[in-house]
Structure 1
Amino acid sequence: MESVPVRCPVCSRDHAYSTPAYPCPCGTPTAPPLLRDAPAVLVGHRSWNDVWVTVRCASCDRENQWPQPELCCPCGTVLRIPVRPVVTGPAPAAPVSPAHIPLPRTAAHPRPAFRPMTIRTGHDAVSAAGLYLTWLGFRDVGRPGAGPASGIDLRADGLIARVDSSTRPTTLRAVETLWLNALGASATGVFFSLAGYATDARARADGVELPLFVMDLTGAPRPVNSPADELVSTGA
């Protein structure tokens, strides 16, 4: 897995960014090639063309559209990681549907590609998270009557989830509230955030093994801790 150093221009934190691999239709894990010496770009406004990059599979030479690599700093800054452009060859294969989540080869029953929905409002963010949880295998995903004031935005059989669509990093209190709700309900808790997570919130989630996901405006969640990676690998 390719990794490059990234420094946040806002808080000066140093990160090591590892690009995620996505399965090509031929089955080969494929990742956007990163530009190691190019600085990360601060994301202020997204356009549709900004969130996809062309990636060529080294095995079958197929060109596909994958999500643009991004890093969410704990300070709340979102950084776009530059990639090497693909020089289009003669008669490339038609691109497949973009923005599906990488599936480890260890998965017992590989899922079809996840098809995200564009996020324009907080309501859209909850809907996108619901689609993703359904894709993971949770059944009867829906919104509880109590609403977000209870710390829960989505419920399913054995699951409760929270979706933070604010512009600030998710707080420790929000993570602890969801974890306690999940503990009391003997359910799996899953957190989705558009702006990333505060450092102490991330540390607590790791300690209690609460899966954390970050969503961009394309509606494609990305796991940001080990419990989330495991959930993507095993499904519900």
Structure 2
Amino acid sequence: MSESVSVRCPVCRREHLYAVPSYPCECGAPVRPPVDRHGAPTAVAHQVWDESWVAVECAVCGRRADWPQPELGCGCGALLRIPVAGDTCPDTEPDGDPPAPPRRAFQPITIRTARDAVTAAALYLRWLGYQDIRRADQRPPSGIGLAARGLLAQVDPTVRPASPRDVECLWLTAMTESAHCVYFSLAGYTTEARTRADSLGVPLFVLDLTGTPQPVNGLADELGAAGG
């Protein structure tokens, strides 16, 4: 059963009932950010990627992972950041990785907003084995760029199918960083974009509204089967 907390907007003083989201740990247990019931929400003036995530420890297996910072949109237009209890700053990369357990089925989140699309792609990359996911240093011409060790990803949440130029820009940026690359799109790809991706070696995924990345080309099939 979902946990709910009462939240008052600091701008208009309107009361809301916020349902704390649940996310799937790699062990299969549900993980919820520990919302501070006594803390006051703050209105977000500017979204900062590093402040949009909190590190939460799974109560079952003890694994610590980054999940989206609890936020709520008020009817007055303010975006409210819900305070989280305890030490929840995102972890730095550990010196050594623990042994990897058998990989469970990917558990998606429903896509309702552009941010949900980025979160779904980040969760999928983490499921593939990339743990140090962050906002890419270089902003792509369209969409949002994500980066991990040895990987550059582009998430396009627009309603326009990705073009050959979009694929080429991602590939060129990845080449300059000596990294592999992968493309996620909500609206799919033009035929020319698919052909160009195959020639450049770029895996293509379409994000359906359930938040599950669907492979578009053989390279994406191979990536999903082999993991990161």
TM (norm. structure 1) is 0.51
**Paired residue type of 1:154:** L
Change (3 A) 1:151 1:159: farther
Give the deviation of 1:211 after TM superposition: 0.3
Q: Deviations over 1:8-43 (max 9, x none)?
A: xxxxxxxxxxxxxxxxxxxxxxxxxxxxxxxxxxxx
State the Cα distance separating 1:147 from its structure 2 match: 3.6
**Contact 2:118-2:144 within 8 A present in 1 as well:** no
Which of 183, 187, 198 matches 1:206? 198
Query: 1:174 aligned to 161, 166, 172, which one?
Result: 166
Distance verdict in 2 for CA 1:109–1:132, change over 3 Å: same
User: 2:125 corresponds to which residue?
Assistant: 133
1:114 shift after superposition: 0.7
Q: Aligned-pair distance for 1:181?
A: 0.8
Asked if the contact 1:166/1:194 (under 8 Å) is kept, the reply is: yes
Q: Residue 177 and residue 151 in structure 1: after superposition, are their counterparts in 2 closer, same or farther (change >3 A)?
A: farther
Are 1:152 and 1:160, in contact at CA under 8 Å, matched by a contact in 2? no
3-state SS of the aligned residue for 2:188? coil
SS at match of 2:104: coil
Measured after TM superposition, the shift of residue 150 of structure 1 is: 8.0
Q: Kindly tell me: are residues 109 and 199 of structure 1, through their superposed partners in 2, closer, same or farther at Cα, counting changes over 3 Å?
A: farther
CA–CA separation in structure 2 for the residues paired with 1:119 and 1:183: 30
> Which residue is equivalent to 1:233?
225
SS at match of 2:135: coil
- Would you say the 8 A contact 1:151–1:174 is kept in 2? no
Aligned-residue CA RMSD (Å): 1.9
Deviation >2 Å, runs of 4+: 144-152
- Among candidates 216, 219, 231, match of residue 211 of structure 2: 219
Structure 1 counterpart of 2:116, which letter? Answer: D
- Residues 196-228 of structure 1: per-residue CA shift (max 9 Å, x gap): 101111000011110000011110001110111
What is the Cα deviation at residue 143 of structure 1? 1.2
**Matches of 2:114 and 2:140 in 1, distance apart?**
11
| Unpaired runs of at least 5, structure 1 | 1-107
Give the unaligned 5+ runs of structure 2. 1-99
**8 Å CA contact retained: 1:170, 1:193:** yes
Letter in 2 for 1:181: T
Structure 1 position 145, deviation (Å): 4.8
The answer to whether the aligner puts 1:162 opposite 2:149 as a matched pair is no
- The one-letter code of the counterpart of 1:210 is V
Aligned identity (percent) is 58
Q: Structure 1 residue 111: deviation in Å?
A: 1.5
Separation (CA, whole Å) in 2 of partners of 1:196 and 1:190? 13
Aligned to 1:117, what secondary structure does the other structure show? coil
Match of 1:119 in 2: 111
Matched to 2:206, the amino acid is: V
What is the SS of the residue equivalent to 1:176?
A: helix
Contact 1:163 1:193 in 2 (8 A): yes
Superposition deviation, residue 146 in structure 1:
4.3
- CA distance in 1: counterparts of 2:129 and 2:175, whole angstroms: 21
Match of 2:83 in 1: none
Partner residue in 1 for 2:136 = 144
Higher mean C-alpha deviation, range 144-153 or range 195-204: 144-153
Q: Could you say what secondary structure the match of 1:178 adopts?
A: helix
Q: How many residues align?
A: 129
